[in-house]
Structure 1
Amino acid sequence: MTEPSNDLSIGQVAGRTGLSVHTLRLYEREGLFTTEVRRTATGRRVYGQADLDWLEVCTKFRASGMPLESIRRFAALVKAGSGNEKERLELLRAHQCRIERQVAELNDCLALIAGKVATYEQHVDAGTAADLWTGIGPRA
């Protein structure tokens, strides 16, 4: 008796990851996988659990704004195997710093918006909201 295959088609991977078939092909063309995408005898792409795990990492990298070039570099380092951990760490630290700056900027924006919401809530509750927007100064 043969064991059931854990191999997935590109359509199945698209369904599981939320990535489009087009994006999966792009990731392969761009060298963003840490291993070569396997093919069946008829040339169809075949993915395994390790591919799904890596795609989850890629998705988080992309969602956090990591450029494709950085993901490509990181994938190449992973493909190359051990001995380049310092370079991987430097790449991840640089991206972490970018995200931390973005989070700080967003927190500043959120604080400003929260202040505006509080001001508008006070004026709406008091029935004085009609003249809030003057387009100048802190009243806006």
Structure 2
Amino acid sequence: MSMLTIQQAARRSGLSVPTLRYYEDVGLIGPIARDASSGHRRYRERDLDDLQVLACLRAMGVGIEDMRAYQANRARGNAAAAEQRDILLRHAERVEIERATLRVHLDYLRRKADLWDARDRGDATAEAEAQARVHEIYPEIEMLIRA
């Protein structure tokens, strides 16, 4: 069985060495085996599987508490399937809201760029059209601000 150093585990998982230590400290992983002579952490393939799951959850913006619940549920297997689904769907809804927000931001930026492009070209007709398109998006921006 191959054992990896913390640096190797960090490279393979995409997580930093301090993050690996932190995840062990807060109970998201481990306890991690230690080398008998040096006391240094030694990661097994099973540990790397956990790290890769955590790296994906982290990349999706999942917080520590939900990561902890997710990991505990993984250990429970199929008995925790409904809880796992609920955690993932809750975060999927959050990502959908973020996606919609980013779409409005992107639309606004592009419409403003069109406005400035028309001004740069000296095209008064295109400028007026772009200005109208910018104003059309204001209600969506206001909804985001109020949300």
Q: TM-score, normalised by structure 1?
A: 0.77
Q: Indicate the structure whose relative CO is greater, using CA pairs within 8 Å and at least 6 residues apart.
A: 1
Q: Which amino acid aligns with 1:123?
A: R
Alpha-carbon distance, 1:8 to partner: 0.6
Alpha-carbon distance, 1:76 to partner: 1.0
Q: Any unmatched runs of 5+ in structure 1?
A: 129-136
Q: How many residues were matched structurally?
A: 125
Alpha-carbon distance, 1:13 to partner: 1.3
1:85 to 1:36, Cα distance in 2 relative to 1, 3 A: farther
Q: Which amino acid aligns with 1:24?
A: L
Tell me the distance in 2 between the aligned counterparts of 1:45 and 1:51. 11
Q: Does structure 1 residue 38 correspond to structure 2 residue 33?
A: yes
Q: Which amino acid aligns with 2:17?
A: V
Q: Any unmatched runs of 5+ in structure 2?
A: 125-133, 136-147
Tell me the distance in 2 between the aligned counterparts of 1:81 and 1:45. 27
Q: Does structure 1 residue 109 correspond to structure 2 residue 108?
A: no
Alpha-carbon distance, 1:124 to partner: 1.6
Q: Does structure 1 residue 126 correspond to structure 2 residue 89?
A: no
Q: Which amino acid aligns with 1:115?
A: R
Alpha-carbon distance, 1:56 to partner: 2.4
Q: Which amino acid aligns with 1:23?
A: T
- Give identity over the alignment, percent: 34
Partner of 2:4, secondary structure, is coil
Alpha-carbon distance, 1:6 to partner: 2.2
Contact 1:31 1:75 in 2 (8 A): no
